[in-house]
Structure 1
Amino acid sequence: MRFARVRLAGALAALAVLSAGMTQATAAPAGKPPPPGSEMRNVALDTKPVQSSTYEGGTADRAVDGNVDGNWAGNSVSHTAQEEQPYWQTDLGKSQTLTKVAAWNRTDCCAERLTDFWVLVSDSPITARTLAEAKAQKGVTATKVAGTAGRTAEVPLHRKARYVRVQLEGTGYLALAEVQAFNDEVIASPSPAARKWVKDNPFGMFLHYNMSTYQDEQWADPNASPALFDPTDVDADQWAAAIKDAGMTFGVLTAKHHDGFALWDTAHSDHDIAASPYKDGKGDVIREYVDAMHAKHLKVGLYFSIWDRHNGDSVELIQNQLRELLTKYGQIDYLWFDGWGWQVPYSQVPYQPVRDMIRKVSPRTVVANNDHLGTLRTSDVIVYEVPVQGMPPETNARPTDASDTLDTNRTWFNTTATGAPRSASDITDNLARARAGNSLFLLNVGPDRTGRIPQDSVDRLKEIGSAS
């Protein structure tokens, strides 16, 4: 998991690498809508936009870099000066049929700066400075988005256009995390298995439990001794009972985080539980977890970091360790990747060969990949890391995972920085929002140093289960 957004330029450039072996993009049949949830091509990406002015380095190109996080510190936000009717505009390079334009808002603050704005499209350059003159220009289609945009605002279209403008109605700053313009070209469609997984499993528990808790850090030292992993009472039965009491149907346990420590006895690294004192080096937390989940008739998910700061990031290591996890423990229903595309580029570890291997050894496993690219080309399920990205939009039509934390301080691993549990109503409100947006809600609860979920979290999970 991340705590600050990493720019996506390298990952986006590497998308060409993973296209081999994937379904080629096709235009939707004439007169027919694309399959529900299909991913259309964003033709605004990496175009050359302009804006009416620029405020403190918030250049126009930040709104077409693929980074929708909306965090100023992560260079995600384009920004004009405060002025009358500021605008942002881009040239798509050629006229093409647009199906919608999406404007993404800033998330770290100042969401009100994207309020009462217009989306204008045209085949010809929009040259007017004022909104009234731009709307009156021949060939311009103008659509108002009233009020504050929220996380994102979408304007449906069905017309040919080459130029796209976003312009405020009043006086103020114009801040944009991203502007997307989609044509009628289908580049990916949701798999039936991913749709069914999200529909049938709307609520699950993320269990961040690994070396980080014993080092009191969210990202553990990859060179620390395995002897630090020394729990006194790993209680996977308690975890499974808490999942059941919360009304959840599945869990996702951190089999390996960024530091590379494996919670099973892997034959491909010495940085694992077999080198720890746990059960005299004969422990296997993955086995305990899987058995406890199956005893409660719960689905099994595992988190696996492609970015391995101890062992390195070789394709051979990744495939060998995944093969162990997917063949030694019975059916793994959900595999949640991290560190891929934002630390380990797809040019180094291509997506498609790994995905093909998973299909071969465990064909029913659904993959969620936390690369923040928001594309079905590198994931079966789109991941929203809620503390960083916010909740998915309720207009979302693709299978999506909204991963959030129970504790008020938004930590993932249980450490001294972990806060008290959030209120049951806070969690059930987000659960309802996720369901409205075709998303499952994956709520993190970190077991403590003993290996048990703290009692205040257990109590809150029961409360959530009674209320949801």
Structure 2
Amino acid sequence: MGMMDTLDEWHSIYIKAGIALPGALLSARFRDEGSDEQKMGLLLATALACLLACAAAQNNNPTENLALRGRATQSSTYYNYVFGYLASAINAIDGNMDSNFYHGSCSFTNNDMSPWWRVDLLKSHKISQIVVTNRGDCCGNLIDGAQILVGDSLENNGNNNPSCSEINYLPNGGTQTFECNGMAGRYVNIIIPGKETYLTLCEVQVFGVPVSKKPPCS
């Protein structure tokens, strides 16, 4: 493999990590030709860029919303007979942050004891952040006291998994980010424990990386 072939491979890694190679490297067009000083400079710059790419991969928060590819379910599903609207669990991971319940993009349970909602991310991830958007047209207080859980167990419908955070208060139509600091899990649950009430969510976004993923240069 020539030196430029190696550079091209690293270039693709840097782009994914959000790092640009120095212009001098991108303009290099030699394989075996060039002075020893040029070759050594290229190798040193490549090694430095590799280290920067590794650091970026480890420190930057992922930008892909994992929930969009997940499968959602909830303790029960409310049906509005007037509007003919089924407030399915999947409405909370449809990518639509419209917080007006009657526009058809929010989930809603029946009046359950400890109502819950869950998204299956299909495999275990290290979760960095979970972003929740509350209902906006009314009833924002329904979400007060909800627990956000992350884990790999489906015991008790996933509601025995460890807690990432609690939603103490979220105003009508509000969006809040909750830090999970790399908690590992396939399932993200939101539950209002020990209370007979409704649970409504207008969007849940989940950010993280697969547990098995390794950074570049590892």
Would you say same fold, with TM above 0.5? yes
Secondary structure of 1:40's aligned partner:
coil
Q: In the alignment, what sits opposite 1:164?
A: 188
Q: State the match for 1:43 in structure 2.
A: 66
- Identity level (%): 30
Helix, strand or coil for the counterpart of 2:131?
strand
Distance, in Å, in 1 between the alignment partners of 2:142 and 2:72 is: 19
Taking only aligned residues, the RMSD between alpha carbons, in angstroms, comes to: 2.6
- How far did 1:71 drift? 1.6
Given residue 140 of structure 2, which amino acid in structure 1 is its aligned partner?
A: A
Q: Is the 8 A contact 1:40 1:184 kept in 2?
A: no
CA distance in 2, matches of 1:124, 1:149: 31
| C-alpha distance in 1 between matches for 2:108 and 2:76 | 8
List aligned pairs for 1:222-233, cutoff 5 A.
none
The one-letter code matched in structure 2 to 1:128 is N
Whether 1:147 and 2:190 are equivalent positions in the alignment is: no
Structure 1: 5+ residue stretches without partners: 1-22, 186-468
Which amino acid in 2 is paired with 1:98? Answer: I
Residue 33 of structure 1 is matched in structure 2 by 59
Conservation of the 8 A alpha-carbon contact between 2:109 and 2:198? yes
Measure how far apart 1:39 and its partner are. Answer: 6.3
Aligned to 1:128: 156
| CA contact 2:143–2:167 (8 Å) conserved in 1 | no
Map 1:99-114 onto structure 2 (within 5 A).
99-114=128-143
Q: What 5-or-longer segments of structure 2 have no aligned partner?
A: 1-13, 19-52, 80-85, 211-218
> Aligned partners of 1:58 and 1:25: how far apart in 2?
37
CA contact (8 A) 1:115 1:149 kept: no
Q: Is the 8 A contact 1:116 1:148 kept in 2?
A: no
For 2:186 and 2:62, how far apart are their aligned partners in 1? 20
Are the counterparts in 2 of residues 89 and 163 from structure 1 also a CA contact under 8 Å? yes
Query: 1:14-413 counterparts in 2 under 5 A?
Result: 25-26=16-17, 29=54, 32-34=58-60, 40-56=63-79, 57-125=86-154, 127-128=155-156, 134-135=159-160, 140-148=162-170, 151-157=174-180, 158-169=182-193, 170-184=195-209
Deviation of residue 26 (structure 1)?
4.0
Cα distance change, pair 29–168 in 1 and its aligned pair in 2 (3 A): farther
Contact 1:118 1:143 in 2 (8 A): yes
C-alpha contact (below 8 Å) 1:70/1:77 kept by paired residues: yes
Counterpart code for 2:65: N
TM-score, structure 2 as length reference: 0.62
Cα 1:159/1:29, change in 2 over 3 Å: farther
CA–CA distance in structure 1, aligned partners of residues 15 and 189 of structure 2: 30
The change in CA–CA distance for 1:46 and 1:102 in structure 2 (over 3 A counts) is: same
For each residue in 1:57-116, what CA deviation from the matched residue of structure 2 results, as whole angstroms up to 9, or x when unmatched? 100000010001112222111000012110000110111111011111111221112111
Runs of 4+ in 1 over 2 A off after TM superposition: 23-33, 140-143, 147-150
Is the partner of 1:68 in helix, strand or coil?
Answer: coil
- Distance 1:66-1:88 versus aligned 2 partners, 3 A rule: same
Given that 1:50 and 1:60 are in contact with CA atoms closer than 8 Å, whether structure 2 keeps it comes out as yes
- TM value normalised by structure 1: 0.30
